[in-house]
């Protein structure tokens, strides 16, 4: 947030900043989705809806998830919230009691830690193997189970590393959780952006419904970050608890955005494929270019739209001791915004979002090269 605020300040002063910070698609929301929102306005669909979302949208979400992943959820197992972040917040508050342990692989999306802390839970971090592309295995997680373990959070593909959990390992992880009655929260925010494997949801396993908690989001898949629509697929008792929480906090997600979301779920899906093809080109370019910078290594992201290079070679010199200081220097001297790895639980990395044009990527990476090697 600090880097984003500083970048914004520089930009407002007319400074030419290349922004690799933004965690959102640079594509506009597809036209058919925008038109659905315009129709909703024209038809005065502008009033309260049910707090947990309209029946129409819950049905559409269940249908989309069934078609994409072969699951079989009913609207009673679905809630629509104000973005995926809201879903993860509500799910965590509904599940985690003070003292409960929640297992979180490192590097992690920043929010997990804070929502677990807010619920009074204890985060148990599991290191992954950078040399193997930040790969995780069920065995690694298993070592961290205790009688207090309440939930495991999986984010595949991962923000920030782009790591994808192999299907066989995901199934083993599910079996470990299931056998212990531990919830497996699967954050499917980037599940459609996979470069070398087919879309997969652990919720499609026959026994998954009792312990798997799906947190879904339309933000990245349909370039709808500002619309704020996310959903959970979870056991009905948990959906009821989340509904209670939501009805006394935010109430319903915006009615117009819900209509747009129905179109996203049921309309043509070609925009998702087009975005993925573009991200793949950018991923290939960014990783190759980063690896040309002397001393920098970069694991190959297998999904999402982030690269997570190790810039440890630039630490401990020129007054830069940590990645926050590196990010500040990158912004102030090279005019490139990157997110420091400390935010994600590692100490030698920065996150580069390649949800920006190839031209911007080339410009920004030339500047970073100069900063690190110059």
Ligand X SMILES: Cc1ncc(COP(=O)(O)O)c(C=O)c1O
Rg (CA), the chain: 21
d(CA 291, CA 287): 6
Q: Residue 201, interface with ligand X (CB under 6 A)? A: no
Between 18 and 189, CB nearer to ligand X? 189
Distance from the first to the final alpha carbon of the chain: 28
Q: Residue 23, interface with ligand X (CB under 6 A)? A: yes
- With contact defined as beta carbons under 8 Å apart, do 351 and 339 qualify? yes
Q: Residue 83, interface with ligand X (CB under 6 A)? A: yes
d(CA 339, CA 349): 9
Taking the complex as a whole, the smallest distance from the CB of residue 135 to ligand X amounts, in Å, to 17
Task: Could you list the beta-strand ranges (E) of 276-349.
Answer: 306-307, 336-337, 339-340
d(CA 120, CA 39): 43
Between 25 and 289, CB nearer to ligand X? 25
Between 135 and 293, CB nearer to ligand X? 135
Stretch touching ligand X by CB under 6 A, among 37-45, 78-86, 169-177, 349-357? 78-86
Q: Which of 92, 135, 217, 310 binds ligand X (CB under 6 A)?
A: 217
Q: Tokens for 32?
A: 């058919």
d(CA 27, CA 35): 16
Q: Residue 250, interface with ligand X (CB under 6 A)? A: no
Q: Which of 29, 54, 186, 219 binds ligand X (CB under 6 A)?
A: 219
Taking the complex as a whole, the smallest distance from the CB of residue 189 to ligand X amounts, in Å, to 4
Between 73 and 231, CB nearer to ligand X? 231
Q: Which of 61, 173, 189, 293 binds ligand X (CB under 6 A)?
A: 189
Q: Residue 186, interface with ligand X (CB under 6 A)? A: no
CB neighbourhood size of 280 (10 A)? 15
d(CA 194, CA 301): 9
Between 105 and 364, CB nearer to ligand X? 105
**Number of alpha helices (DSSP H) and beta strands (DSSP E) in the chain:** 12, 12
d(CA 202, CA 214): 9
| Interface with ligand X: number of residues (CB under 6 A) | 13
Between 30 and 230, CB nearer to ligand X? 230
Q: Residue 121, interface with ligand X (CB under 6 A)? A: no
Stretch touching ligand X by CB under 6 A, among 79-87, 239-247, 255-263, 270-278? 79-87
Q: Residue 254, interface with ligand X (CB under 6 A)? A: no
Taking the complex as a whole, the smallest distance from the CB of residue 21 to ligand X amounts, in Å, to 12
Taking the complex as a whole, the smallest distance from the CB of residue 87 to ligand X amounts, in Å, to 7
Q: How far is CA 147 from CA 115, 116, 174, 200, 360, in A?
A: 21, 17, 17, 29, 49
Question: Left if phi > 0, otherwise alpha if psi is -120 to 50, otherwise beta: which for 304?
Answer: left
SS percent in the chain: helix, strand, coil, step 5:
45, 15, 40
One character per residue 37-76, x = contact with ligand X (rule: CB under 6 A): ----------------------------------------
Q: Which of 19, 187, 263, 278 binds ligand X (CB under 6 A)?
A: 187
- 248: three-class secondary structure by DSSP: coil
Q: Residue 107, interface with ligand X (CB under 6 A)? A: no
Question: For 290, phi and psi rounded to 5 degrees?
Answer: -60, -40
Q: Residue 109, interface with ligand X (CB under 6 A)? A: yes
Q: Residue 159, interface with ligand X (CB under 6 A)? A: yes
One character per residue 319-338, x = contact with ligand X (rule: CB under 6 A): --------------------
CB neighbourhood size of 93 (10 A)? 19
d(CA 123, CA 104): 7
Consecutive H or E run containing 212? strand 212-217
Q: Which of 32, 59, 197, 225 binds ligand X (CB under 6 A)?
A: 225
Q: Residue 90, interface with ligand X (CB under 6 A)? A: no
Given the rule CB under 6 A, which residues bind ligand X? 23, 83-85, 109, 155, 159, 187, 189, 217, 219, 225, 230
């Amino acid at each position: 947030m600090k880097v984003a605020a500083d970048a914004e300040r520089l930009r407002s002063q007319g400074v030419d900043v290349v922004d690799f910070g933004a965690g959102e698609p640079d594509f506009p929301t597809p036209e058919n989705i925008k038109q659905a929102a315009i129709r909703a306005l024209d038809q005065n669909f502008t009033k309260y809806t049910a707090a947990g979302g309209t029946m129409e949208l819950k049905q559409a979400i269940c249908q989309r998830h069934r078609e994409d992943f072969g699951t079989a959820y009913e609207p009673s197992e679905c809630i629509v919230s104000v973005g995926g972040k809201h879903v993860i917040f509500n799910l965590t508050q509904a599940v985690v009691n003070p003292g409960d342990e929640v297992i979180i692989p490192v590097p992690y999306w920043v929010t997990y830690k804070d929502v677990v802390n807010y619920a009074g839970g204890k985060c148990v971090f599991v290191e992954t193997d950078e040399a193997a592309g930040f790969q995780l295995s069920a065995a690694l997680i298993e070592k961290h189970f205790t009688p207090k373990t309440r939930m495991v959070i999986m984010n595949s593909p991962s923000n920030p590393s782009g790591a994808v959990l192999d299907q066989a390992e995901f199934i083993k992880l599910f079996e470990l959780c299931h056998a212990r009655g531990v919830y497996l929260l699967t954050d499917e925010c980037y599940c459609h952006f996979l470069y070398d494997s087919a879309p997969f949801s652990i919720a499609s396993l026959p026994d998954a419904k009792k312990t798997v908690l799906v947190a879904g989001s339309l933000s990245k898949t349909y370039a709808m970050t500002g619309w704020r629509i996310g959903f959970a697929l979870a056991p009905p008792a948990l959906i009821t608890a989340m509904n209670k929480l939501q009805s006394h906090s935010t109430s319903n997600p915006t009615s117009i955005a819900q209509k747009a979301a129905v179109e996203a779920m049921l309309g043509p899906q070609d925009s998702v494929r087009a975005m993925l093809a573009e991200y793949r080109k950018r991923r290939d370019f960014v990783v190759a270019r980063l690896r040309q910078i002397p001393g920098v290594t970069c694991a190959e992201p297998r999904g999402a739209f982030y690269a997570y290079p190790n810039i440890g070679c630039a630490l401990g010199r020129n007054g830069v001791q940590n990645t926050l200081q590196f990010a500040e220097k990158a912004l102030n001297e090279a005019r490139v915004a990157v997110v420091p790895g400390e935010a994600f639980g590692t100490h030698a990395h920065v996150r580069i979002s390649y949800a920006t044009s190839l031209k911007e990527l080339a410009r920004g990476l030339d500047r970073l090269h100069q900063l690190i090697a110059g």
